[in-house]
């Protein structure tokens, strides 16, 4: 239910921009369609970050999903005008097809540029995160190495202590033998 309300609200935002375009055309008398001017104002607001894309994303996606439905009435209207199927009609159709291909090409070009920028930003962010992780791992490994060196030092001290205790015990035993007269150092 919340999604439906969000989509309706976002479509209303798009309508506001359409009516801003209507207002501009009425005041200035520009020979441009009001919807085109409204979209230009919308693009300007998006570029200046006055409006976030999230404010219109779901509503515009909904409208784009039904875009083919919006083309059915003009196609049905062609049947009422057979002169469009004459030579002039073919020129018109060729013009429409060429302009459509041009729009598709420009749109794909711009989309690829935007995707490359977004990918570069993501890679830069992930590289930064990886570097931070590597620094943390390096610090941790240095701590482990220092800890291992410390434990190796402790280990060598323990071995030395055990060895010196063993030697001391042997000396004590030999000293005891000498004192008791039971023997001395063996050669």
Based on the domain organization, do 62 and 90 belong to the same domain?
Answer: no
Q: What is the pTM of this model?
A: 0.44
Based on the domain organization, do 48 and 107 belong to the same domain?
Answer: no
pLDDT-based confidence at residue 142 (cuts at 50, 70, 90)? low
Q: CB of 19 within 8 A of CB of 39?
A: no
Q: Which residue has the higher pLDDT, 77 or 97?
A: 97
Backbone φ/ψ region at 181: left (φ over 0), alpha (ψ -120 to 50), beta: left
Place of tokens 């001395």: 184
Q: CB of 89 within 8 A of CB of 83?
A: yes
Q: Does position 117 have pLDDT exceeding 50, yes or no?
A: yes
In-domain check, residue 158:
no
Domain stop point among 51, 71, 91: 71
Whole-number Å distance between alpha carbons of 176 and 170: 10
Count of structural domains, the chain: 2
Q: What is the DSSP string of 14-28?
A: HHHHHHHHHHHHHHH
- pLDDT tens, residue by residue, 2-35: 888 999 999 999 999 999 999 999 999 888 888 8
Based on the domain organization, do 9 and 64 belong to the same domain?
Answer: yes
Based on the domain organization, do 25 and 87 belong to the same domain?
Answer: no
- pLDDT tens, residue by residue, 64-87: 888 777 777 766 676 677 766 677
Whole-number Å distance between alpha carbons of 26 and 51: 24
Q: Does position 63 have pLDDT exceeding 80, yes or no?
A: yes
In-domain check, residue 153:
no
pLDDT above 90 covers a percentage of the chain that reads 21
Based on the domain organization, do 53 and 20 belong to the same domain?
Answer: yes
Quote the tokens at residue 5: 């309300």
């Amino acid at each position: 239910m919340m999604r439906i309300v969000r989509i309706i609200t976002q479509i209303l935002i798009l309508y506001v921009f359409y009516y801003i375009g209507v207002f501009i055309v009425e005041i200035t008398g520009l020979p441009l369609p009001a919807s085109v001017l409204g979209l230009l104002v919308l693009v300007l607001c998006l570029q200046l970050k006055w409006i976030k894309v999230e404010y219109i994303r779901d509503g515009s996606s909904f409208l784009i999903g039904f875009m083919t439905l919006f083309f059915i009435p003009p196609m049905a209207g062609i049947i009422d005008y057979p002169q469009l199927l004459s030579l002039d009609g073919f020129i018109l159709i060729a013009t429409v097809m060429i302009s459509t291909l041009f729009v598709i090409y420009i749109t794909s070009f711009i989309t690829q540029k935007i995707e490359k920028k977004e990918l570069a930003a993501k890679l830069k962010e992930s590289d930064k995160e990886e570097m931070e992780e590597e620094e943390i791992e390096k610090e941790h490994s240095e701590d482990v190495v220092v800890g291992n060196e410390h434990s190796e030092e402790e280990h060598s001290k323990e071995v030395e202590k055990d060895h010196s205790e063993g030697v001391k015990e042997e000396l004590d035993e030999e000293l005891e033998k000498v004192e008791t007269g039971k023997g001395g150092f063996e050669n």
